[in-house]
């Protein structure tokens, strides 16, 4: 909307412009010739008189901070004649007033000076200091101007921009390969599913493995998908892997999302039905059409603010993993180990035997950036352990944790992954101060991702928790995704 406002203004006053690959991913930057400054400023004043907003003036000294000022305030116009750039912005909010899009999303006009047959940039951008003064505009894909979108973002959300040929070069910083997202999801209240689970319940070794809290659907998936639509629109396709279940709210007729049955991906059909996330995760790379680079989400993981694919992959395709501050317990697997610790120990033993390296850290509850080829190779390298994990109907002491640890370290040890860091929050729902923690998360909105995990809640906790979660999730992600009925 802000970009369209800038375009409308410049077209109204008859000033030619072109989009610039600026250093910000939030708002659009367009360039005009310094010769047209007076026409631009005159039109800008009239436009903001009719449609009051904010004006941010960028001076020639980049050290001096530029701050948005209401356009009705005379101080907003004080230094516009010497500005190297000005930004127009209007605050946008959802109807409930929870989600506010700020001035960083404004549309910026840069004044490029003429030097001979070149137009020269007044400040750095990601590509070039100058363009041909008499150059002709060409169309440029939206992903060139913001890493928050990709070639797979719908054109209605990310239309092409008119730019100069100099900005069309493929940069070493660009990520042009597709990235998919995969969820595993279960409706633990489905009577048919509950009957299947009850029939298989004799194989449990640890109470956490079959705790009802692990299988409760609190509608988190709907809001996690909203978080992708809002904050990671560069995702190509979302796959939801289920036991022949479909969320009631989901539209399956919309491009960009697909429900995948366990039956479609399990190499050994006799391993089904399964109620073990490790088992299901061991088969995700068998999803037909899945991209080489994909993010694996539990349905309680969310993107918390706009992130670029660069947060999870390097431009050359290397995946990033996020080691935990915790440590894997020493020694072999023992009966008192939790399923998580047992799987980590099994991972460690196999990787040490294969690569001579010892892993010491599990992973944080951050979406897991995975390479499909690495999972195929890991399955081929360790066929017995992989098949044993696939066949475990509930979490077992012999499991690997394929996606949350094993495949990530396997990719790292074969040169396809590297450690990274990310602002994130892990919140266990069974805490007495849940309301305060959720409110801090909502007020701050300063985390790239967060996880609302639930493994130990009792039936008595659920109603109060659900009320808090409903309010929090609707406030944080108020905008329905295109995939909702």
- Helix (H), strand (E), coil (C) string for 395-449: CCCCCCCHHHHHHHHHHHHCCCEEECCCCEEEEECCCCCHHHHHHHHHHHCCCCE
Looking at 147, 168, 189, the residue that finishes a domain is 168
- Rounded mean pLDDT, 78-107: 92
Domains: count for the chain:
2
pLDDT at 204 over 80: no
pLDDT of residue 202: 56
164 and 280 part of one domain: no
| Domain harbouring 226, CATH code | 3.90.550.10
213 and 153 part of one domain: no
SS3 47: helix
305 and 412 part of one domain: yes
- Rounded mean pLDDT, 87-104: 89
- How far apart CA 125 and CA 123 sit, in angstroms, is 7
- How far apart CA 309 and CA 315 sit, in angstroms, is 9
Residue 325 resides in a domain: yes
∠ CA 176-151-135, rounded to 5°? 90
368 and 429 part of one domain: yes
CB 292 within 8 A of CB 179: no
397 and 448 part of one domain: yes
What angle in degrees, to the nearest 10, is found between the helix axes of 459-476 and 220-231?
Answer: 20
Main-chain phi, psi angles of 368, to 5 degrees: -90, 120
pLDDT band at 457 (very low <50, low <70, confident <90, very high): low
- How far apart CA 206 and CA 395 sit, in angstroms, is 8
- How far apart CA 223 and CA 480 sit, in angstroms, is 8
268 and 372 part of one domain: yes
- How far apart CA 450 and CA 428 sit, in angstroms, is 11
Tens-place pLDDT, residues 110-154: 999 999 999 999 999 999 999 999 999 999 999 999 999 999 998
How far does Cα 62 stand from its chain's mean position?
Answer: 31
- How far apart CA 349 and CA 405 sit, in angstroms, is 13
pLDDT at 214 over 60: no
pLDDT band at 207 (very low <50, low <70, confident <90, very high): low
- How far apart CA 49 and CA 72 sit, in angstroms, is 7
Residue 398 resides in a domain: yes
pLDDT of residue 455: 66
Looking at 108, 133, 168, the residue that finishes a domain is 168
pLDDT of residue 418: 98
Residue 482 resides in a domain: no
The structure's pTM equals 0.93
- Rounded mean pLDDT, 153-169: 91
pLDDT band at 100 (very low <50, low <70, confident <90, very high): confident
pLDDT of residue 425: 97
80 and 189 part of one domain: no
CB 386 within 8 A of CB 330: no
CB 141 within 8 A of CB 171: no
CB 270 within 8 A of CB 157: no
Instruction: Using alpha carbons, list the distances in angstroms from residue 123 to 15, 28, 110, 147, 427.
Output: 20, 15, 9, 20, 42
90 and 147 part of one domain: yes
Tens-place pLDDT, residues 32-76: 999 999 999 999 999 999 999 999 999 998 888 899 999 999 999
pLDDT of residue 215: 53
Annotate 206-215 with b (16+ C-beta within 10 A) or e (fewer): bebbbbebbb
Which is nearest to 41 in space by CA: 24, 22, 55, 61? 55
Which structure tokens are listed for 20?
A: 């610039």
51 and 156 part of one domain: yes
Residue 173 resides in a domain: no
Burial category of 384 from C-beta neighbours within 10 Å (exposed 0-12, middle 13-18, buried 19 and up): exposed
Residue 392 resides in a domain: yes
> Strand 257-261 vs strand 319-321: parallel, antiparallel, or unpaired?
unpaired
pLDDT of residue 64: 85
pLDDT at 203 over 80: no
183 and 164 part of one domain: no
Residue 328 resides in a domain: yes
Which is nearest to 240 in space by CA: 268, 267, 262? 262
Which of the 8 DSSP states describes residue 30? E
Instruction: Using alpha carbons, list the distances in angstroms from residue 167 to 10, 22, 130, 355, 405.
Output: 21, 10, 10, 44, 40
pLDDT of residue 216: 64
Task: Look at the block and give the residue holding tokens 């993981």.
Answer: 301
Looking at 168, 193, 209, the residue that finishes a domain is 168
Q: Mean pLDDT, the chain, as a whole number? A: 93
Residue 148 resides in a domain: yes
274 and 233 part of one domain: yes
pLDDT of residue 200: 83
240 and 358 part of one domain: yes
- In which domain, by residue range, is 92 found? 2-168
pLDDT of residue 76: 95
pLDDT at 266 over 80: yes
pLDDT of residue 226: 97
Residue 483 resides in a domain: no
pLDDT of residue 109: 98
């Amino acid at each position: 909307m802000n970009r369209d406002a800038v375009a409308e203004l410049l077209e109204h006053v008859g000033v030619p412009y072109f989009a610039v690959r600026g250093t910000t991913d939030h708002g659009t930057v367009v360039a005009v010739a310094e010769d047209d400054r007076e026409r631009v400023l005159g039109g800008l004043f009239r436009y903001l008189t009719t449609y009051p907003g904010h004006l941010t003036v960028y001076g020639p000294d980049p050290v001096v901070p530029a701050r948005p000022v209401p356009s009705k305030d005379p101080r907003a116009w004080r230094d516009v004649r010497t500005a190297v750039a000005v930004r127009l912005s209007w605050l946008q909010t959802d109807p409930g007033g929870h989600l506010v899009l700020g001035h960083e999303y404004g549309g910026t006009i840069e004044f490029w000076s003429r030097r001979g047959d070149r137009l020269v940039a007044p400040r750095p951008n990601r590509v070039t200091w100058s363009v041909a003064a008499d150059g002709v505009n060409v169309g440029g894909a939206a992903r060139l101007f913001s890493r928050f979108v990709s070639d797979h973002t719908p054109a209605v959300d990310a239309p092409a921009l008119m730019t100069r040929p100099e900005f069309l070069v493929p940069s070493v910083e660009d990520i042009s390969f597709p990235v998919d997202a995969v969820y595993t999801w279960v409706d633990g209240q489905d009577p048919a599913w509950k009957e299947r689970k009850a029939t298989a319940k004799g194989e449990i070794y640890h109470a956490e493995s079959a705790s009802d809290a692990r299988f409760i659907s609190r509608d988190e998936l709907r809001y996690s998908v909203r978080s992708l639509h809002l904050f990671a629109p560069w995702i190509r396709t979302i796959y939801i892997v289920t036991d022949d279940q479909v969320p009631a709210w989901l539209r399956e007729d919309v491009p960009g999302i697909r429900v995948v049955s366990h039956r479609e991906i399990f190499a050994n059909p006799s391993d089904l039905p399964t109620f073990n996330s490790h088992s299901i995760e061991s088969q995700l790379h068998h999803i037909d059409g899945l991209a080489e680079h994909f993010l694996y989400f539990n349905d309680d993981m969310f993107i918390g603010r706009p992130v670029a694919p660069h947060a999870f992959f390097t431009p050359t395709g290397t995946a990033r993993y996020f080691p935990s501050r915790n440590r894997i317990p020493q020694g072999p697997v023992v009966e008192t180990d939790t399923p998580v610790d047992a799987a980590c120990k099994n991972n460690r033993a196999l990787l040490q035997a294969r690569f001579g390296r010892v892993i010491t850290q599990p992973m944080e509850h951050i979406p897991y950036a995975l390479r499909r080829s690495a999972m195929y190779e890991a399955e081929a390298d360790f066929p017995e352990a992989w098949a044993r994990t696939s066949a475990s109907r509930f979490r077992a002491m012999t499991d690997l944790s394929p996606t949350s640890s094993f495949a990530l370290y396997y990719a790292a040890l074969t040169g396809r992954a590297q450690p990274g860091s990310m602002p994130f929050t892990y919140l266990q729902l069974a805490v007495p101060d849940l309301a305060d923690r959720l409110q801090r998360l909502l007020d701050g909105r300063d985390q790239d991702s967060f996880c609302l995990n639930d493994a130990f809640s009792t039936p008595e906790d659920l109603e109060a928790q659900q009320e808090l979660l409903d309010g929090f999730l609707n406030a944080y992600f108020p905008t329905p995704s295109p995939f909702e009925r």
